[in-house]
Amino acid sequence: MSQNILELKQQFLEHMEIEKGRSLKTVENYDRYLKRFLEFGQIKNPKDIDEETLRKYRLWLNRQSNNSSTQLETGTLSKKTQNYYLIALRMFLKYLLRRKVDSLSPDQIDLAKVSQRDLDLINEDELKRLINSPDGTGLKELRDRAIMELLFSTGLRVSELCSLNRDSVDLSRDEFSIRGKGGKVRVVFVSDEAKEVLKKYLNKREDHEEAMFVQIGGKISDSMRLTSRSVERIVAFYARKAGISKKVTPHIIRHSFATDLLRNGADIRSVQVMLGHSSISTTQIYTHVTDKELRNVHKKFHSGNK
């Protein structure tokens, strides 16, 4: 078996794409993260990856500047971003271990502790105004209202929403299946409001494009399907129209979907399944929102001076 690190890296990336079903974007990120590590450590052979190289790499990562718009006040990579690099390396080492290639054990890589962040949320009134903003009866307004209703009804990721075809959703039923991250299929549920506006939108369509959500007006490209970026722009436009000063994205509507379920008594594991999270630790970030409401419950129902 070849011990050339670049050949092994390429085989790993192909494994992640084909056997693991990772998206091309994820594979591209893994490629970029691993390239940075291999160049830093001047790694030529899997045996060159050792604890000392890892220690120096982690120190180097922690001191790297971040030129993106999400940089911290210190200008260095956030712990979360550093973890992306480490996760890619750990996955690569696990792959080498399974192939019985002698290298550093993946167990040697511990991720940096990341502090819990506050969710970017809009309140119930803002959410209602946002969803109701596309208030016309034209094709564009019906499309945009359907997008808002479906995002909040189902908790879909924006990429999942854009992947929908007309035959993806049976409007005689309250649910449909979606293939999410890693090729995993889950069931999502559609509200009566979302179904009603979807019917109006699809009935008004006169094209034969299979995509559920398409471009309307303007320059027509080879594919009329809306992209994730297009949907982000649509949501941002209606947020401004609704008078919401915060930055609103499709992902914030997904946050609203999850917190609405929890606030109304849904258990965390059910929310995990509906969101399509592979790990419940990802879903648990939403409990911090509902935990804040416990203070009000305590004040209302408990007195220490009985």
Query: Is 277 a catalytic site residue?
Result: yes
List pLDDT tens digits, range 86-141: 999 999 999 999 999 999 999 999 887 766 555 667 888 999 999 999 988 999 99
Residue 157 falls in the annotated catalytic set: yes
Q: What is the largest CA-CA distance in the chain?
A: 75
Q: Which two tokens stand for residue 164?
A: 């929908």
Phi and psi angles of residue 65, each rounded to the nearest 5 degrees, phi first: -80, 155
Return d(Cα 68, Cα 75) in angstroms, integer: 9
Say what the pLDDT of residue 66 is.
63
Our answer to whether residue 286 is catalytic in this structure is: yes
**Number of residues that this document lists for the chain:** 306
Contact 130, 177 (CB under 8 A): no
Residues 30 and 88: beta-carbon distance below 8 Å: yes
Report pLDDT for 290. 61
Task: Note the pTM of the prediction, 2 decimals.
Answer: 0.63
Among 22, 145, 254, 255, which one carries the catalytic annotation? 254
All domains of the chain in start order, with CATH: 5-108 (1.10.150.130), 124-295 (1.10.443.10)
From the candidates 157, 195, 238, 255, give the one annotated as an active-site residue.
157
Give the alpha-carbon dihedral of 237, 243, 245, 246, to 10 degrees.
Answer: -60
**Cβ 54 vs Cβ 104: under 8 Å:** yes
Catalytic residue among 20, 181, 200, 225: 181
**Number of H-type helices and E-type strands within the chain:** 14, 2
Q: Is 212 helix (H, G, I), strand (E, B) or coil?
A: coil
Question: What is the model's pLDDT at position 70?
Answer: 38
- Residue ranges of the chain with pLDDT lower than 50? 68-74, 306
Which residue among 58, 179, 225, 251 is the active-site one?
A: 251
What is the C-alpha to C-alpha distance for residues 161 and 155, in angstroms, rounded to an integer?
9
What pLDDT shows up at residue 32? 94
255 assigned to active site: no
181 is catalytic: yes
Q: What is the 3-state composition of the chain as percent helix, strand, coil, each rounded to the nearest 5?
A: 60, 5, 35
Cβ–Cβ < 8 Å for 229, 249: no
Q: Is 254 among the catalytic positions?
A: yes
